[in-house]
Chains A and B, each alone.
Chain A
Amino acid sequence: AQRVTQPEKLLSVFKGAPVELKCNYSYSGSPELFWYVQYSRQRLQLLLRHISRESIKGFTADLNKGETSFHLKKPFAQEEDSAMYYCALLPVSNTGKLIFGQGTTLQVKP
């Protein structure tokens, strides 16, 4: 079965602390993985995708096929990072059906 699991509903850290938002997936092939973010009262937007191997707003995510994980990391959290984060999987065989995790709320305290 194709599934994305974000084990933490809420992650609370202090400003300046490192952040790791966990994402594990279940898929037999080679999927494309994404992280989306939704700030308060804003629309959902793409943060980054694994094929780009980019760093956006200081966040990075590495696809670990052995562990089937795609954790989102940032070395020093900022208050403006507080938001809802969703990990999503796009099965290669289907270009339309993103499979989302349940989301993790990141709360960065001053």
Chain B
Amino acid sequence: GAGVSQSPSNKVTEKGKDVELRCDPISGHTALYWYRQRLGQGLEFLIYFQGNSAPDKSGLPSDRFSAERTGESVSTLTIQRTQQEDSAVYLCASSLGGAPRGFFGQGTRLTVV
């Protein structure tokens, strides 16, 4: 596609359930990033994939969070046993390498009730 695509746009889930968030990067972009934005706060780095290198997972807030990426394609962010504090907008970005200079998805708004 023309840009980074995320699905779903909105997700409401019950506390304790697992959720999967999907990101389709721009074709050919080797780097993919996940960020989280909680209400009234800035963006928090979660995880970074670069090609076939081991991902930088240093931003994942707990072991309930995990992410996968197959090659240079789709990535899935999984949150297990969701908690109310997981409610946020989850943003994905992709780039040819280095910082996500301009290509962000529209985000997935996750609400845990």
Contact = CB atoms under 8 A, between A and B. Distances in A.
A103 B42 contact: yes
A34 B106 contact: no
Contact of A98 (B45, B97, B105, B107): B45
A34 B99 contact: yes
A70 to B, nearest CB: 14
A44 B42 CA distance: 12
Contacts of A101: 42
Interface in A31-51: 32, 34, 43-46, 49
Given A100-B42, A101-B42, A103-B42, A95 B104 contact: no
A90 B97 CA distance: 13
A69 B93 CA distance: 26
Interface string A75-110: 000000000001010100011111111110000000
B42 A98 contact: no
B33 interface: yes
B56 A96 contact: yes
Contact of B58 (A46, A86, A88, A97): A97
Decide if the interface of chain B is mainly helix, strand, loop or mixed: loop
Nearest to B53: A96
Interface residues of A, number: 22
Contact of B97 (A32, A34, A95, A100): A95
B104 A96 contact: no
Contacts of B91: 44
Contacts of A49: 101
23 contacts: A32-B99, A34-B99, A43-B3, A43-B104, A44-B91, A44-B93, A45-B104, A49-B101, A86-B43, A88-B43, A95-B31, A95-B50, A95-B97, A95-B98, A95-B99, A96-B48, A96-B50, A96-B56, A97-B56, A97-B58, A97-B59, A98-B35, A98-B99
